[in-house]
Amino acid sequence: AKGEGKNTYRHYIDEMDAEIQRRRLLQTDLKRALVNNEMFIEYQPQIDIATNRLAGAEALLRWQHPERGRVPPDEFIPLAEQTGLIVEIGDWVLEEVCMQIRAWQDAGLPQVPIAVNLSSVQFRRDDLLERICSAMHAYDINPGLLEFEITESYVMNDPDAAISTMFDMREFGVKISVDDFGTGYSSLGYLRRFPVDKVKIDRSFVTDIEHDKDSATLAKAVVQLGHSLGLKVVAEGVETKGQLEFLQNQYCDLVQGYLFSKPLPARKFSEWLESSSI
Ligand code: C2E
Ligand code: CA
Ligand code: CA
Ligand code: CA
């Protein structure tokens, strides 16, 4: 048993080394990913529960690594944040989304707002608004067609600064939604102070909504709180009809999830736009 313990320990060290090594390699590759055209964006439809119509989409970043294949964003975004590369990547996402909105508009397709995820690193920079503004101007995009998803956790560091940034964004005309809501319990009450338009119930609660009382209670509470503050409530990660029914019964406003569609390449999402008559 003694030898076994030692082996396990050795094994653990080896795995840690491998993990550190993997991250180092990924970081190097990440620096070249943009210039090498390895990144692209997918769009996941958001559906209005009441009308069953397309109401918008979330832009999700993808990295197709030449040897490793797809690297999940949950893996490379934190790396990009640590190295500061997220600022450049974030600019690229913004630019790419604006370019796409312009292309859809020029093709005469119906226009729906596109939600872009903002990293806390981007959110805290004082040139955030200039960067947003310059991408929108380059493609002559109406600010009402862009939405930014921010998670509640960024805000907790320095709530006053964050709230002031949100007011600036809002004045500029872009919409803001609070992502992954419910995961940072301490801040439930803060929602009242945020000048936002939407709140998204985190996927972890939606997944368990039918079978776990706490998740169901939290989802109900978020819908009620959101509505009492005049916000739209979005549920993400909706995969089953049962989950959808629960959310319908709670008068949740928008849903997003595999039940309707996975995130799609721009060309595939155009078909959604084509067949939606807004
Ligand atoms: P998120 O913002 O919470 O995005 C929702 C995630 O849930 C996406 O994962 C989406 O593909 C996934 N999803 C949607 N519906 C379902 C469903 O029904 N079932 C399941 N199992 N999953 C579903 P994804 O695309 O892997 O992105 C992961 C995270 O990476 C995002 O979480 C977001 O935090 C981050 N991310 C993605 N794109 C960007 C970006 O452009 N900028 C920044 N800063 N972060 C991004
Ligand atoms: Ca999001
Ligand atoms: Ca989310
Ligand atoms: Ca998330």
| 3-state SS, one letter per residue, for 134-178 | HHHHHCCCCHHHEEEEEEHHHHHHCHHHHHHHHHHHHHHCCEEEE
61 Cβ closer than 6 Å to some ligand 1 atom: yes
pTM: 0.94
For a mutational test of ligand 1's pocket, the pick from 71, 119, 203, 241, i.e. the residue with the most ligand atoms closer than 8 A to its C-beta, is: 203
pLDDT of residue 170: 95
What is the identity of the amino acid at 204? S
237 Cβ closer than 6 Å to some ligand 1 atom: yes
pLDDT of residue 16: 79
- Nearest-angstrom CA–CA distance, 128 and 207: 34
- Residues 6 or more apart whose CB falls under 8 angstroms from that of 272 comprise 45, 54, 57, 261, 264
Backbone angles phi, psi at 41, to 5 degrees: -120, 140
For a mutational test of ligand 1's pocket, the pick from 77, 124, 149, 258, i.e. the residue with the most ligand atoms closer than 8 A to its C-beta, is: 77
pLDDT of residue 25: 87
Q: Which residues of the chain have pLDDT under 50?
A: none
- Nearest-angstrom CA–CA distance, 113 and 128: 20
Reported as a single tens digit per residue, the pLDDT across 151-178 is: 877 777 788 899 999 999 999 999 999 9
pLDDT of residue 185: 58
| Surrounding residues of ion ligand 2, Cβ less than 5 A | 117, 149, 179
263 Cβ closer than 6 Å to some ligand 1 atom: yes
236 Cβ closer than 6 Å to some ligand 1 atom: yes
pLDDT of residue 7: 76
Nearest CA to 177 out of 226, 218, 212 is that of 226
Instruction: Report how far ligand 2's centroid is from the alpha carbon of 114 (Å).
Output: 11
253 Cβ closer than 6 Å to some ligand 1 atom: no
For atom 11 of ligand 1, the residue with the nearest CA is 263
Nearest CA to 104 out of 92, 118, 114, 119 is that of 114
152 Cβ closer than 6 Å to some ligand 1 atom: no
pLDDT of residue 128: 95
Instruction: Report how far ligand 1's centroid is from the alpha carbon of 117 (Å).
Output: 9
